[in-house]
Amino acid sequence: MTDLDLSDNISLEFLFVDYNPLYTLNLSDNSNLKVLQGVFLPDLILLDVKNNQNSQRLSFSYNSNLIKVDARNGNNTNFNVFSVTDNPNLECVLVDDSVYANSDTSWYIDIGFSFREYCVSSVGFEENPKEKDKVLLRIIDILGRETNPVPNVLLFYLYKDGTVEKKLIIE
């Protein structure tokens, strides 16, 4: 199997897809899913379980091309096991609360890696939800002069929280 569409199985609670060359795995309509396991899925790149609020166990290991896991389902404390180990190309694992996920002893990830609330990955940019409330103090050009947004000019956006963004709006 290279593609698995379970959208008509809305009552599905347990799914084990080990040892399959799946390219895609659409679980967006499986809100009752409690247990999901995928080991040795060499072609799976993205795992999205955002719509699976009832998930209690997720185990995805030894998936050589898995790059991103999105588990921001609004109910991460419901997981009694969350394991994404031995995925050598994994760039990003998105969760509701990274502090909780990184400190809970039933959440497993490779050493040197951490769960995140936002990240940039080669399969897509995830917006930082905290940036929605950022307060812009001023915009300056490369010489430090305050300015208004200008197309085709590198500008620095200075925010109240101390962060700085470099922006180049091309028109």
Q: What is the pLDDT of residue 15?
A: 95
Per-residue pLDDT of 131-149, as tens digits, reads: 556 778 888 888 888 899 8
Which tens digits make up the pLDDT trace of 110-134? 988 889 888 765 555 455 555 556 7
Query: Are 147 and 82 in the same domain?
Result: no
Q: Quick one: 41 and 58 in the same domain?
A: yes
pLDDT over threshold 80, residue 163: no
**pLDDT tens-digit series, residues 66-98:** 988 999 999 999 999 999 999 999 988 999 998
Q: In what order do the strands lie in the sheet with 164-167?
A: 136-141, 155-159, 164-167
Domain range for 101 is: 3-125
Provide CB contacts within 8 A for 19, sequence distance 6+.
39, 40, 41
Question: How much of the chain exceeds pLDDT 90, in percent?
Answer: 37
The confidence score (pLDDT) of residue 129 equals 53
pTM, full prediction: 0.70
Q: Within this chain, do residues 41 and 88 fall inside the same structural domain, yes or no?
A: yes
The answer to whether residues 61 and 110 belong to one domain is: yes
Q: Using CB atoms within 10 A of its CB, is residue 35 exposed (0-12), middle (13-18) or buried (19+)?
A: middle
